[in-house]
Amino acid sequence: MNTNELRSLCPALQNKTYFNYGGQGPLPTPSLEAITNSWRCIQELGPFTAEIWPFIAAEVNSTRRRLAMECGIPPHRLALTENVTSGCVLPLWGLPFRSGDRLLISDCEHPGVVAACVELARRHDLGLDSLPVKQLRADQQQTDQGVLDALEQCLRPRTRLVVLSHLLWNTGQIMPVAAVAQRLKQHTQQPFLLVDAAQSFGQIPVDEAAAASDIYGFTGHKWACGPEGLGGVALSERVLAEASPTMIGWRSLQDERFADLTPEDPFHHDSRRFEVATSCVPLMAGLRRSMELLAEIGSAADRLESIRHLSGRLWQQLNNMGSSLPLLTVPPPAGLMSFQLPSGPEPSDLVKQLGTQGLWIRDLADPPCLRACTHVLSQDAELDALVQALEGISP
């Protein structure tokens, strides 16, 4: 299969020019069919019969193995979740903090994760520090060094957790997760590393970063083109050994027949201690099918090369406009292309105006900018259409 063939299988890409893969990717028709086929099978077997449990176990186990393989970890370290937020926050709240410990959070994190950290700090008397990475706008080598330099400046003796995205959702820079993890091992507290992988999974190779992180939370509904409502989190052996379950349900328990009110150790000893209760099994078939379709186009590295070609071309076109200012001083390392228009309508108004022309990008608040995402499914003609529409915007 080539990209044009896969595009033709995505209803969301028909009759529009789509650049919002960082918000939600299109669901291919074969993936939708896999979901409906799974629903049909469940109903035919009976949704709560003896025959259904082997089917559900096979769906869960195959999905766990597939996602774990993508993350470069053994399956027992991969918990299935509903989204990035639950993947990050559920294990985060189970970490062994003490009053006076400090959380170091990058200044480019998503508000959902930041809010969880702020509330955690309030409840447990933790300190909050900021890791400045927003200003890093140059090539990858300079960015990597800038992150490590900032880390040296911001780590404190009581730092217990560092929060950093693998791919920043606003500026589009890739963070050196493995190098950060290595540096944290040298700290006296050996801080935990929580990585928001919302923008990396399905877009760039993630195995090295996921294996190096303590908590690496991702979703399937963005760059992997899966259904919303299903994601995962890669967990380190240290988290499995030291973190307590937070949201607790029957899936957290070694034995769901548990009735003893004072058990010594009721929870799973692997990633399942952070799974909760009933979830939507048919979504698993849909995500696996989407990942299979993307794999037919090429490996993660191959797809990233195509994405970089497209985002680099768009970066150059926006630079040539004169009235546009890309945030990065070099072509993006992946598919997030953020830029500013110093003159013209408010970003939110511009997004609506482009939408009436069938062109879909989004605006971001911090830093104030517009964001257009190129995917392996994007086409050169779409980039030209976006630039032409931007050139026609009146100041």
**Model pLDDT for residues 86-106, shown as the tens digit of each residue:** 999 999 999 999 999 999 999
- For residue 225, which of 26, 10, 8 has the smallest C-alpha distance? 26
Structure confidence by residue, pLDDT tens digits, 197-225 = 999 999 999 999 999 999 999 999 999 99
User: What is the pLDDT averaged over residues 305-311?
Assistant: 98
Mean pLDDT of the chain: 96
pLDDT above 90 (res 395): no
Residue 343, pLDDT > 90, answer no
Whole-angstrom CA distances from 284 to 57, 193, 210, 222 are 11, 27, 20, 15
**Three-class secondary structure of residue 89 per DSSP:** helix
Q: What is the pLDDT of residue 261?
A: 61
Q: How far is CA 21 from the centre of its chain?
A: 11
pLDDT at 377 over 90: yes
Report strand pairing: 325-326 vs 336-340: antiparallel
Q: Please, what sign has the CA dihedral across residues 89, 95, 98, 100?
A: negative
**What is the DSSP secondary-structure string of 48-78?**
TSTTHHHHHHHHHHHHHHHHHHHHTS-GGGE
Q: What is the pLDDT of residues 33-67, one digit of tens each?
A: 999 999 999 999 999 999 999 999 999 999 999 99
pLDDT at res. 9 = 98
Beta-carbon contacts of residue 205 (< 8 Å; ≥ 6 apart): 300, 301, 304
Q: Given a cut of 90, is residue 27 above it in pLDDT?
A: yes
Q: Which of these ranges, 186-190, 264-268, 377-381, has the smallest mean pLDDT?
A: 264-268
Specify whether the CB–CB gap between 180 and 317 falls below 8 A: no
Crossing angle for the helix pair 300-321 and 380-391, nearest 10 degrees? 20
Q: For position 3, what pLDDT does the model report?
A: 96
14-40 per-residue burial string, b: 16 or more CB within 10 A, e: under 16: eeebbbbbbebbbbbebbbebbeebbe
Distance, CA of 187 to CA of 213 (rounded, Å): 15
Q: Is residue 257 scored above 80 in pLDDT? A: no
pLDDT tier for residue 263 given thresholds of 50, 70 and 90: low
pLDDT for 135 beyond 90? yes
pLDDT at position 262 over 80 = no
Closest by Cα among 257, 241, 252 to 274: 252
* Pick from 305, 318, 320: nearest CA to 372: 318
